[in-house]
Amino acid sequence: MSTANRETPRPAAGRAGIKKELPAHFKDYRHVWVFIELERGQVHPVSFELLGEGRKLADKLQVQLAGVVLGPPGEAVGNAVAEAFAYGADLVYIAEAPLLADYRNEPFTKAMTDLVDTHKPEILLLGATTLGRDLAGSVATTLQTGLTADCTELDVDTDSSLAATRPTFGGSLLCTIYTLNFRPQMATVRPRVMPMPQRTDKPVGRVIRHKLSLAEDEIATKVLGFLPDNQSAKANLAYADVVVAGGLGLGAAENLQLVKNLARAIGGEHGCSRPLVQKSWMPADRQIGQTGKTIRPKLYIAAGISGAVQHRVGVEGADLIVAINTDPNAPIFDFAHLGIVTDAIRFLPALTEAFTRRLSPHSRDKLAS
Amino acid sequence: MHIVICIKQVPDSAQIRVHPVTNTIMRQGVPTIINPYDLFALEEALRLRDAYGGEVTVLTMGPPMAEDALRKALGYGADRAVLLTDRYFAGSDTLATSFALSQAIAKVGETFGTPDLVFTGKQTIDGDTAQVGPGIAKRLGLLQLTYVAKIPSIDLAAGEIKVERRSEGGTQMLKSRLPCLITMLEGTNEIRRGSIHDALCAARNQVLKWSAADAGIEDLTKCGLRGSPTVVKRVFAPPARAEKAALIDTAEKALRDVADELITAIFTRQPALEHELAFNGGA
Amino acid sequence: MIEENFDAIVVGAGMSGNAAAYTMASHGLKVLQLERGEYPGSKNVQGAIMYANMLEKIIPDFRDDAPLERHLVEQRLWVMDDTSHTGIHYRSDDFNEAKPNRYTIIRAQFDKWFSRKVREAGATVLCETTVTELIRDAKDRVVGVRTDRAGGAIYANVVVLAEGVCGLLGTRAGLRQMPKPQTVALAVKEMHFLPEEVIEQRFGVKGDEGCVIEAVGTTSRSMAGLGFLYTNKESISLGIGCLVSDFAAMVESPYVLLDALKSHPSIRPLIAGSEVKEYSAHLIPEGGYKAIPQLFGDGWVVVGDAAQLNNAIHREGSNLAMTSGRIAAEAIIEVNSRNAPMTKRNLALYKAMLDKSFVVKDLKKYKDMPALLHTNSCNYFTTYPRLMSQAAQNFMRVDGTPKIEKEKATTAAFIKARSRWGLVSDAVRLALAWR
Ligand SMILES: Cc1cc2nc3c(=O)[nH]c(=O)nc-3n(C[C@H](O)[C@H](O)[C@H](O)COP(=O)(O)OP(=O)(O)OC[C@H]3O[C@@H](n4cnc5c(N)ncnc54)[C@H](O)[C@@H]3O)c2cc1C
Ligand SMILES: Cc1cc2nc3c(=O)[nH]c(=O)nc-3n(C[C@H](O)[C@H](O)[C@H](O)COP(=O)(O)OP(=O)(O)OC[C@H]3O[C@@H](n4cnc5c(N)ncnc54)[C@H](O)[C@@H]3O)c2cc1C
Ligand SMILES: Nc1ncnc2c1ncn2[C@@H]1O[C@H](COP(=O)(O)O)[C@@H](O)[C@H]1O
């Protein structure tokens, strides 16, 4: 919702009031779809999180939940399909073609729009990953329908249309957005914003195959190569169970070592607030928050982070938030569960030391027995 | 080479505050800035122009005051600025915005030469849908290269471009055709400071102000609120967590004891954790 | 890179710079104005009261589109002690005239407007451009400036230094001294946002009417200082200023004073429930007449705060700034029209014209005031305020003490505090300085 003239977004008078009389040709759009993001043989976990949400929506609407798998022929697609069912899909649409091997906008857009035009879903959910956002944008404009990005909450309202809630104004406010008079209603959701649903082994159910009518030479963009991220950059922040992050309060780049030490001591990942990335004290993929990673660890320790709203929105999913900050009035204490008002630079080593003591081998044995 | 870059003027959301009582945004004195992500695209465009020759046209859709953003862009060294402003555009969502912009880009093409490249930022900080870029590409039938981190080479004669594109877990090396639309990844460069010469030109340069009609937009039903399939129904502040953090008292205590106290507090709240940490930790 | 030559370069886009640039540009001179702020006014702090008369002389019809907050119909002068204030209020419906005389403004907005006028008049205005040095030729004449942008020097026949109170450029170039701690005040200011209705009801004003409170007394901790409260349309500017040297001597921080002022029982209810938005601090030249530096030289003139042209006693600065800027411009236009060079000799015209204006006349009138208030600050800003309020309370309170004894008590208190001689001499000194 990038509006040209941003007034304080009131309920758009008139239009919001419009009784949503769906045009006839959209009346037969039914069922909830989730795009199963398959890249280089791997299903992106966000797809399962979306199946979890899609399940709830489908049940409320009393319709079916379908997964959409696009990929090259091979067992990767097979696994993806199996997983889709295991995470709650009722049926799965597949488009298999060699030219879907690596992600490229053209073939994926074609495949997805063809599927939508043929099978007419009322709701289409994608992960807000680089792939998902690239695809969603062009699919939505091709289909001339509405798209709500980076949703934090999905629901169906009384007249059974999708109510998509997302942060606006840099996270300082939330807004609920509807797609009037157009189908499908599209939404993207960032990884880790929704909880991971239970996986239960299920037999592969109904599968509908779609033949992609597109030839390689019709595609202008060619993949010359792929350079996987090196180890250091492969921060698995978003999915870590324990995260320790540092902010400007640490004062100097060297002090980030204290954060890394604690993270290592308790087997967690380390992250940071945005200014540290801007000062290039840390690589961008370590940034936590609205424009960085969203995390939902079991334990999040924030040292020297004020807790600005843009940071907050990225960590609120954590089970337990511990804040270390010299300023008792820092906003982070408004949403942290445990807080310590002290100098993190002095406290972090003590905490690391204390953890190591507590988690020493023999204490492990005690726990094991 | 003719490069068109779309920038947006946004409220500096770092400085936006929500009124505690009325839950409305207090924009009193909130400064507006060029969407930070667009600056990476602008700098890339300027570099390509400097390297391959040609012109950079900056385009924005917004209220009259968005002219400030364009003036800034000219100050950085852009050659031309177009402000697309018309009450019909008020309340545009992604779809309506990309419609208006694509039409304007077409018009810019007719008037000043067809663009070889169109740039947008990765996303805006007030809308951050990251969809206006793709939207424009679709409408203009341009190839779409998003999250581009690097543009190693352009072969104007052959109409070929090589880019490095960020994707999950790695970087794609792509070869594609011109003209195309590129959205730049953040942190790929840093916006330059215009020379005194650029600044002088900027101060004297005119910002072209186009209405919907000027941009050759006939179908106004595709613009503004009317052209926006999505509608904002409700705006509200994030629910505050009921209780504040339980503060662990540090008064005249050894850090060591405070640390132990904290760990105990952690494990009482999350008993399962102790077991996990004991076996993952200490690596 | 560019060898461009301007008739005049104006350094700074504050009140004085804009006045100068506008006047010269609208007389067809080729003017370049350089401002270091992101936009004109972005760095500027002021109460702020703007005096219409001086702006009219530059832009007669400014009322049509200038961003004005409220026109003043009431002025309150308060003498405060810790719990009370004794005040004179002057309010007159005559101030509701067709062309009101004083307005509150918000500098950030006002300067933007003024700068637009400057551009429309034909001047070239560059923001985010800091002038780093003055270029001199072999004969030591100022011939241009260098900025913090790449691309070299810019040349002009004359440089108008409108760089504000610190005036690093001029002082670094040795054109004048850095202002001394005892001749500049540090003022801190907060903007308190309140709904329009609330302001109108609290100050008993309607429409665009506004009210000003200026307060001396113990809130300035017996330093020579003045607190002020100005009503804008939807906000209240509240601030206090004291001499930098005093702050240093008393090791008081400005915030402490501002907090004291805010929590004073006479002020607190006026700002209750407000949303504090911006906090700013800025210097004010208070050296008066005796602190005025050399105002002109070969290829340069200095105007406004940079020239210490500021009347502390009457809280006037922007008007002296505008007027000095305008007069400097008129002098330059005059010299230019004679095709004469911008030499020290020719630019002396500026000082001659300024001396004839209210600017210098007023500052001359109070030439001894700063020194007096500074040296005697303890008496004028603590002792007397206390005594006055005691006297007033003593007079009001009805407690069965015979009136005659009350008066005796009051007189005794005064004499005890300052001695007969002290009282007389304070009065005489004040009178002399005022004359
Ligand atoms: C569009 C937009 C998007 C943004 N996205 C993000 C994002 O994704 N992630 C993000 O983090 N930010 C983001 N920001 C920036 C965000 O607004 C804040 O500026 C940022 O989070 C502040 O980082 P910080 O808390 O590390 O620094 P500060 O806000 O400066 O906080 C430093 C804190 O450390 C404390 N401190 C100081 N010394 C010590 C000490 N010795 N020991 C302990 N504590 C100490 C201080 O009390 C203070 O609370 C975004 C901003 C915008 C405008
Ligand atoms: C708290 C406070 C309250 C006041 N209240 C009042 C009041 O009520 N009424 C009144 O009449 N006066 C008031 N004044 C005084 C008034 O603000 C000043 O006298 C007036 O602003 C002086 O204008 P000026 O143009 O000389 O300087 P300024 O307005 O300070 O402008 C100087 C400009 O030059 C720019 N600059 C400086 N150096 C450079 C450089 N090297 N390169 C480029 N640009 C540069 C600055 O960014 C600034 O924009 C108040 C002052 C303060 C601090
Ligand atoms: N009103 C607008 N005017 C010009 N460009 C825009 C506008 N809105 C969005 N854009 C461009 O589209 C990109 C993505 O915007 P968004 O989809 O809102 O995240 C931005 O970085 C801009 O480059």
- Cβ distance B29 to C278 less than 8 Å, yes or no, reads yes
For residue A148, give Cα distances in angstroms to A33, A110, A186, B45, B182: 15, 21, 6, 29, 21
- Tell me the C-alpha distance between A315 and A290, whole Å: 9
Task: Decide: C247 and C220 in contact? Cβ < 8 Å.
Answer: no
Whose CA is closest to A130, among C108, C305, B186? B186
Residue type present at position A242: V
Q: Which of C38, C151, C193 shows the shortest C-beta gap to B28?
A: C193
Q: Which of B194, B196, B204 shows the shortest C-beta gap to C152?
A: B196
**Peptide bond preceding B179 in cis form (omega within 30 of 0):** yes
Digit-coded pLDDT (tens) for C71-124: 999 999 998 888 888 888 999 999 999 999 999 999 988 999 999 999 999 999
Q: How far is the CA of A334 from the centre of ligand 1 (A)?
A: 14
The whole-number pLDDT of residue A368 equals 63
**Residue closest by Cα to atom 39 of ligand 2:** C163
The whole-number pLDDT of residue C425 equals 77
Q: Which of B237-246, C259-268, C416-425 has the highest mean pLDDT?
A: C259-268
**Shortest alpha-carbon distance between residue C36 and chain B (Å):** 13
Looking at beta carbons, which residues of chain B come within 8 Å of C4?
A: 200
The whole-number pLDDT of residue C132 equals 95
**Residue C239 bridge partners (DSSP):** C189, C228
Whose CA is closest to A7, among B31, C194, B25, B123? B25
Q: Quick check: CB of B14 below 6 Å from ligand 1?
A: yes
Whose CA is closest to C231, among C267, C281, C284? C267
pLDDT at C308 over 70: yes
Share of chain C above pLDDT 70, in %: 97
- Tell me the C-alpha distance between B153 and B163, whole Å: 7
Q: Quick check: CB of B146 below 6 Å from ligand 3?
A: no
pLDDT at C372 over 80: no
Digit-coded pLDDT (tens) for A265-317: 998 999 999 999 988 899 988 999 988 899 999 999 999 999 988 899 899 88
The region of weakest confidence among A326-330, B164-168, C252-256 is C252-256
The whole-number pLDDT of residue C311 equals 87
Mean pLDDT for chain C? 89
- Tell me the C-alpha distance between A129 and A285, whole Å: 13
Q: Which two tokens stand for residue A49?
A: 């999180």
**Peptide bond preceding A184 in cis form (omega within 30 of 0):** yes
- Tell me the C-alpha distance between B193 and B191, whole Å: 7
**Mean pLDDT within B82-104:** 92
The region of weakest confidence among A6-15, C37-46, C250-259, C323-332 is A6-15
Whose CA is closest to A126, among A99, A154, A90, A163? A154
pLDDT at C134 over 80: yes
What atom in ligand 1 is closest to the CA of residue A275?
A: 23
Digit-coded pLDDT (tens) for A152-208: 999 999 888 999 999 887 677 788 999 888 899 999 998 988 999 999 999 999 999
Q: SS3 for A85?
A: helix
Domains in chain C with CATH codes: 5-68+105-177+293-365 (3.50.50.60), 182-285 (3.30.9.90), 369-434 (no CATH)
Q: How confident is the model at residue A369 (pLDDT cuts 50, 70, 90)?
A: low
Q: Which two tokens stand for residue B172?
A: 């794609």
- Tell me the C-alpha distance between C33 and C41, whole Å: 14
Digit-coded pLDDT (tens) for C201-241: 999 999 999 999 998 887 776 666 788 999 999 999 999 98
Q: How confident is the model at residue A76 (pLDDT cuts 50, 70, 90)?
A: very high
Whose CA is closest to B198, among B105, B112, B79? B79
In the 3-class helix/strand/coil scheme, how is chain C assigned residue by residue? CCCCEEEEEEECCCHHHHHHHHHHHHCCCCEEEECCCCCCCCCCCCCCEEEHHHHHCCCCCHHHCCCCCEEEEEEEEEEECCCCEEEEEEECHHHCCCCCCEEECCHHHHHHHHHHHHHHCCCEEECCCCEEEEEECCCCCEEEEEECCCCCCEEEEEEEECCCCCCHHHHHCCCCCCCCHHHEEEEEEEEEECCHHHHHHHHCCCCCEEEEEEEEEHHHCCCCEEEEEEECCCEEEEEEEEEHHHHHHHCCCHHHHHHHHHCCCCCHHHHCCCEEEEEEEEEEECCHHHHCCCCEECCEEECHHHHCCCEHHHCECHHHHHHHHHHHHHHHHHHHHCCCCCCHHHHHHHHHHHHHCHHHHHHHHCCCHHHHHHHCHHHHHHHHHHHHHHHHHHHHCCCCCCHHHHHHHHHHHHHHHHHHHHHHHHHHHHHHHHC
**Residue C257 bridge partners (DSSP):** none
Digit-coded pLDDT (tens) for A221-266: 999 999 887 655 456 788 889 999 999 999 999 999 999 999 999 9
Q: How confident is the model at residue C276 (pLDDT cuts 50, 70, 90)?
A: confident
Looking at beta carbons, which residues of chain B come within 8 Å of C128?
A: 75, 199
Q: How far is the CA of C412 from the centre of ligand 3 (A)?
A: 76
B63 close contact with A: CB closer than 8 A = yes
Share of chain B above pLDDT 70, in %: 92
Q: How far is the CA of C274 from the centre of ligand 2 (A)?
A: 26
- Cβ distance B196 to C150 less than 8 Å, yes or no, reads yes
- Tell me the C-alpha distance between C140 and C143, whole Å: 9
What atom in ligand 3 is closest to the CA of residue B121?
A: 21
- Tell me the C-alpha distance between B191 and B36, whole Å: 10
Work out the number of other CB atoms within 10 angstroms of the CB of residue A329.
9
Residues shown for chain A: 369
pLDDT at C290 over 80: yes
Q: Quick check: CB of B125 below 6 Å from ligand 1?
A: yes
The whole-number pLDDT of residue C224 equals 67
The whole-number pLDDT of residue B13 equals 66
For residue C12, give Cα distances in angstroms to C85, C135, C245: 40, 17, 27
Residue B125 CA to its chain's centroid (Å): 6
Task: Decide: A86 and A205 in contact? Cβ < 8 Å.
Answer: no
Looking at beta carbons, which residues of chain C come within 8 Å of B19?
A: 275
Task: Decide: C321 and C309 in contact? Cβ < 8 Å.
Answer: yes
**Shortest alpha-carbon distance between residue A45 and chain B (Å):** 12
**Residue A300 bridge partners (DSSP):** A243, A321
pLDDT at A8 over 50: no
**Mean pLDDT within A133-140:** 92
**Residue B208 bridge partners (DSSP):** B82
Cα dihedral A60, A66, A68, A74 sign: positive
The whole-number pLDDT of residue B30 equals 72
pLDDT at B90 over 60: yes
B135 close contact with A: CB closer than 8 A = yes
Q: How confident is the model at residue C1 (pLDDT cuts 50, 70, 90)?
A: very low
- Tell me the C-alpha distance between A176 and A256, whole Å: 38
Question: With 0-12 CB in 10 A as exposed, 13-18 as middle and 19+ as buried, what is C282?
Answer: buried
The whole-number pLDDT of residue C435 equals 65
A106 contact partners, CB below 8 Å, separation of at least 6: A214, A219, A220, A221, B143
> What is the DSSP code (8-state) at residue A316?
T
Cα nearest neighbour of B270 on chain A: A320
The whole-number pLDDT of residue A11 equals 38
Is the complex ipTM higher than 0.90?
no
Task: Decide: C31 and C123 in contact? Cβ < 8 Å.
Answer: yes
Provide the whole-model pTM: 0.78
For B126-144, the DSSP string reads TT--S-HHHHHHHHHT-EE
The whole-number pLDDT of residue B29 equals 61
Q: How confident is the model at residue C309 (pLDDT cuts 50, 70, 90)?
A: very high
- Tell me the C-alpha distance between A146 and A139, whole Å: 10
Cα dihedral B92, B96, B99, B103 sign: negative
Task: Decide: A304 and A247 in contact? Cβ < 8 Å.
Answer: yes
C245 contact partners, CB below 8 Å, separation of at least 6: C180, C181, C182, C374
- Tell me the C-alpha distance between C79 and C152, whole Å: 54
Q: How confident is the model at residue A367 (pLDDT cuts 50, 70, 90)?
A: low
Q: How far is the CA of B99 from the centre of ligand 2 (A)?
A: 46
Q: Which two tokens stand for residue C149?
A: 């942008």
- Cβ distance C124 to B203 less than 8 Å, yes or no, reads yes
pLDDT at B46 over 90: yes
Counting as contact any 3 or more CB pairs under 8 A, the partners of A are B
Task: Decide: C244 and C408 in contact? Cβ < 8 Å.
Answer: no
**Residue closest by Cα to atom 21 of ligand 2:** C318
The region of weakest confidence among B11-20, B45-54, B263-272, C321-330 is B11-20
Interface of A with B in 239-278 (CB under 8 A): 241-242, 264-268, 277
> What is the DSSP code (8-state) at residue B213?
T
Digit-coded pLDDT (tens) for B207-232: 999 999 999 999 888 888 888 888 88
